[in-house]
Amino acid sequence: MSLQRMFKTFTIGAIFTLGAAFTNSNSGLSEIKMPYKKAGLTQEQAAAHLLNRFSYGVQPGQIKEVVNTGLEKWLLQQLEASLADTELNRRLETFESLNLSNDKIVNTYLTPAQVIRVAIRNKLIPADSINNADRQKYREQLRLIQEKEGFKPVQELHRQLINQKVLRAAYSNNQLKEVLTDFWFNHFNVSLTKGQSQQYVMTYERDAIRPYVLGNFKDMLMATAKHPAMLEYLDNALSVSNENERTRRQQNNAVLRAARERVEARLSDTSMPGGALVQQAVAARRTQGLNENYAREVMELHTLGVDGGYAQKDVTEVARALTGWAVKPMYKEGPGRQLIENLNQTQLERRGLMVEGDFLFRGDKHDENPKIILGKQFSGKDGYKEGVQVLEMLSSHASTAQFIATKLARRFVADEPSEAIVKSIAKTFQETGGNIKAMLITMVNHPDFWSKNALREKVKSPFEFAISAIRATKAQVMQPFQIYNWCTKMGQRFYYYQAPTGFPDRANFWINSGSLLNRMNFGLALATQKIPGVRINLLSLNDNHEPESADEALRIYSRILLPERDQEENIKRLTAMVRDTQVEQKINEAASKIKTEMVEDEMEEQEVRRQGAGRQGARNKEGDKIQGVNTMNSTAATVAQVVGIIIGSPEFQRK
């Protein structure tokens, strides 16, 4: 952690001190008393359930470890999230962007349009070259500039963001923290699909989500509200008002007005090189007054819930309370940055500006009229603090407790959790002021967490599925981006979910005919080593002991990959299929004959076209068959096939 980041974390922590007592220690937490025995579960079964819900999947041998550690102690360790992560850190060593500040990121990882802007401003390319019809030459020119200035494409930043998520989920020892980071990111969703926020998503997860996932809800709400990613994603950075004393004074003062106009003219000077681009950027961001997007979603999606008891009037009033919440200008080339940097503390205050990290409060754009929100009066004179008070009020509202409890239960217990467990968690929310650890303890202490309706009844998300397969097979992931590509195919393009709702956390959203086939294909591809940059050693999972038959392989690997599950029926069904590859081969030959007849039927219509390609196809098919038979005879291939089928099986989709 860089000194600068440490300092920032410390500052943020210091500002939100109220929740800190809960955040930093386990004092005041209830005892963990998990009633799994009453539900008729053995320690091992209970450990499996805990690992299924609070980690990204069971590793071979892990159930035994957890039982040896003690289930309560294991959970406490996970809530503490301070286990050493040497192996993970080694894997993340080469990720150069992980610890960068927003400032550094926005001036390094640029979109092509930003490169052009910087290049023109610094007179690295003549302005009229934009008109250059030779696009290729022009691109080459831009590439050279990029190299010379040390710029990097913003996609590289995204790639590291995506890759770190995969690696942390697969290899971190603090699994619960990773699971919760995913949960809370999704709750406070932002998206790489939005250009204005894309450069900030990395630091959003790092600075606004991750530090709080085992802390206090209010702190996280506040951190997300002030982070550039959220300010841009839901447009609060654009939401402004002239209803304040400062603006009125300025508008009445000729000198100040002239100064303001000069600045505005500078911002929209089209005669300048690249002026059109700058102007367009300015026009796109030209403040149009109140923007209610964030105000609506902070109530509907982040706190109260859609039926949480607020009206459109409240949305408008919350939006007004949050006017002037903005992002500190960070682009080195932008005029805003110089303006802010040239002001000392006194000058900032005189202008009604407050800078805190990358957050900027603009008093000159804040609505100072009185407001009534959810029945409570706000004088309008508290500036930045008014918005803080509003968010605090929302974070401690009874509807919020209910809403957050429901979402937590939906993620960790069942798609349709019982009212009883939701009520208990909501009660803990209110009693502890939104302490997340305390809510999780209430959850596992509740009998409904261990009930039949919960066990194995959640379907893994594509990401959970992929990572659980990696963990179950102890796969070595050298190219994490491949896992992301597969998750996209399976229906979860993480970090790119466009709507602020986040991914719906329900099985019927994840499971459709296309995504399900891709889950099966993922299992086969992983097990047969067809995913580039992902390697497994299946024999080592069985202490390098070769199974003597396909039958045995099935039994052994079902037990390794799906411990503590009743697999008898599945094994029975599969045994018939894998037992005799000879029979299998015959079936396939027969099938391919029927297929050939079918093809011939089609060929009547399309004979001419097919003749050339058909011969080539037949030869390939023959080749495949020979290869197929050969492969099937080797034990390794049989084991791979069996493992692929287990991973793609319905049982492995459940957690």
Partner 1 sequence: MIHRRAFMKSGALALFAAGFGGVPNFIARAADNRKILHPYKKNKVLVCIFQRGAMDGLMAVSPFTDPNLKTLRPTLFMSPVQAQGGMMDLDGQFGLHPALNSLSSFFKEGRMAIVHGVGSPNNTRSHFDAQDFMESGTPFNKGTSSGWLNRAVGLTGHEATPFSAVSLTSALPRSLYGDREALAISNLQDFAIQMQGNPMAGNMAAKSFESLYDQTSNQLLNKTGKESFEAMKILKSTDIKNYQPANGAIYPNSPLGNSLKQIATLIKMDVGVEVAFAESGGWDTHFNQGTVNGAFARNLRDFSDSIAAFWTDMGQYQDEVTVMTMTEFGRTAHQNGTGGTDHGRASCLFVLGNDVQGGKVYHNIKSLAKADLEDGRDLPVSTDFRAVFSSVSSGHLRLKNTNGLFPGWEGKKVELMK
* Residues of span 295-334 touching partner 1 by CB under 8 A: 296-297, 300-301, 306
Contact 327, 231 (CB under 8 A): yes
Contact 208, 232 (CB under 8 A): no
Which positions from 95 to 134 touch partner 1 by CB under 8 A, shown as an x/- string? -----------------------------------xx-x-
Tell me how crowded residue 512 is: count the other CB atoms within 10 A of its CB.
Answer: 10
Nearer Cβ to partner 1, position 430 or 479?
Answer: 479
The residue length of the chain stands at 655
Mapping DSSP to helix (H, G, I), strand (E, B) and coil, where does residue 415 land?
coil
Footprint of partner 1 on 181-200 (CB under 8 A): 193-196
* Binding range to partner 1, per CB under 8 A, among 63-71, 341-349, 391-399, 510-518: 510-518
Task: Choose which of 199, 400, 473, 570 interacts with partner 1 (CB under 8 A).
Answer: 570
* Binding range to partner 1, per CB under 8 A, among 57-65, 180-188, 430-438, 579-587: 579-587
List the one residue out of 500, 504, 506 whose CA is nearest residue 224: 500
Residue type, 3: L
Rg of the chain in Å (alpha carbons) = 29
Contact 433, 398 (CB under 8 A): no
Mapping DSSP to helix (H, G, I), strand (E, B) and coil, where does residue 352 land?
coil
Does 498 help bind partner 1 (rule: CB under 8 A)? yes
Tell me how crowded residue 634 is: count the other CB atoms within 10 A of its CB.
Answer: 10
* Binding range to partner 1, per CB under 8 A, among 40-48, 73-81, 145-153, 608-616: 608-616
Contact 531, 486 (CB under 8 A): yes
Footprint of partner 1 on 133-152 (CB under 8 A): 133
Does 618 help bind partner 1 (rule: CB under 8 A)? no
Footprint of partner 1 on 418-477 (CB under 8 A): 457, 459
Task: Choose which of 35, 153, 380, 628 interacts with partner 1 (CB under 8 A).
Answer: 628
Measured CA to CA in angstroms, residue 510 lies from 250, 417, 461, 519, 646 at distances of 55, 18, 6, 11, 19
Q: Give backbone dihedrals phi and psi of 218, rounded to 5 degrees, phi first.
A: -60, -40
CB of 136 to partner 1, least distance (A): 14
Does 235 help bind partner 1 (rule: CB under 8 A)? yes
Number of shown-chain residues binding partner 1 (CB under 8 A): 92
Burial of 447 (0-12, 13-18, 19+ CB in 10 A): middle
Residues 6+ apart with CB under 8 A from 322: 225, 236, 239, 294, 295, 387, 390
Residue that is written with structure tokens 């149009």 in the block: 288
CB of 334 to partner 1, least distance (A): 18
Nearer Cβ to partner 1, position 262 or 573?
Answer: 573
Does 234 help bind partner 1 (rule: CB under 8 A)? yes
* Binding range to partner 1, per CB under 8 A, among 247-255, 376-384, 461-469, 637-645: 637-645
Nearer Cβ to partner 1, position 229 or 438?
Answer: 229
Which positions from 53 to 72 touch partner 1 by CB under 8 A, shown as an x/- string? --------------------
State the sign of the Cα–Cα–Cα–Cα dihedral 366, 369, 374, 377. positive
Nearer Cβ to partner 1, position 82 or 501?
Answer: 501
Does 91 help bind partner 1 (rule: CB under 8 A)? no
- Rounded to whole angstroms, the Cα distance separating 432 from 437 reads 10
Task: Choose which of 277, 330, 526, 639 interacts with partner 1 (CB under 8 A).
Answer: 277
Token output for 230: 């959220």
* Binding range to partner 1, per CB under 8 A, among 67-75, 165-173, 252-260, 618-626: 618-626
Nearer Cβ to partner 1, position 16 or 325?
Answer: 325
* Binding range to partner 1, per CB under 8 A, among 242-250, 340-348, 393-401, 494-502: 494-502
Contact 437, 29 (CB under 8 A): yes
Does 577 help bind partner 1 (rule: CB under 8 A)? yes
